[in-house]
Amino acid sequence: MKKIFLIIVGSFCTSAFAQNTMILSRNDLLAGTVFDNRITGASGKTLKYDEISGSAYQDKSFKNAKIAENYEITAIRYNSYKDEVEFRNDTDIMILPKENKFSRLEISSPKQVLVLISLDNEPNGYYYELVNGKSSLYKKVKTNFIDVKPASTPYGSDQPASFSTPITTYYLVLNGKVIKKPKNQKQIIDLLPDKKEVLNSFFKENKIKLDKEEDLKKLVTFLNQN
């Protein structure tokens, strides 16, 4: 009877701990900043996102993601204008705090990983992790806001505000060194002199374009396997 009692008490404590963990994670997230969808440009005019052509998002929908250990799955989206990750609670859209515990966000579908890191002496920000290993590949997506442009003549029309086409920048991390916007094969070989022969053979056999995502992934995957 005593053993049965201990099992029941143990099960209750485990259940209570799991519930408290979920409640705490929810409270932590709710402590974030509320998202403000207004932008005030140099013209002094304040606009909401839906009044601006283009988009601050590659995908406006929220996607389920693992945001940290012991945290419940949370639907998020990435704002490439503000470099912020947003999530929705019952009534508001919130900003995920830029904290170490939320520095690796694993989106389930389509499968993507957002990491909060600093590369090439730039401030901490979100990057898409494309390949991870002894050699790594990251992608930074940046969207700019283009303010209203007043008409040049009294009879013309103002040019409306817009979000720019996303700017994509790739980063290779090799031997602890960062190559931003890799330009040529020599940049890569110089950082990996011990792999000079295999790299020369690889480049000779593969028509790698260093501005193409799939080619860069192929290159970094090759480096991690050789």
Instruction: Quote the pLDDT of residue 185.
Output: 94
Q: Which helix (H) or strand (E) element contains residue 203?
A: helix 196-205
**What are the structural domain ranges in the chain?**
1-31, 33-180
CA distance 55 to 70: 33
For residues 76 and 79, give the distance between their C-alpha atoms in angstroms, rounded to a whole number: 10
pLDDT tens series, the chain, 226 aa: 444 333 334 444 444 434 444 434 555 665 668 999 999 988 888 999 999 999 999 999 999 999 999 899 999 999 999 999 999 887 889 999 999 999 999 999 999 999 999 987 888 999 999 999 999 999 999 999 999 887 776 776 778 999 999 999 999 999 889 999 999 999 999 999 999 999 999 999 999 999 999 999 999 999 999 8
* Residue 25: predicted pLDDT: 52
**Residues 65, 107: contact at Cβ < 8 Å?**
yes
Query: What residues contact 129, with CB distance under 8 A and at least 6 apart?
Result: 113, 114, 115, 136, 137, 138
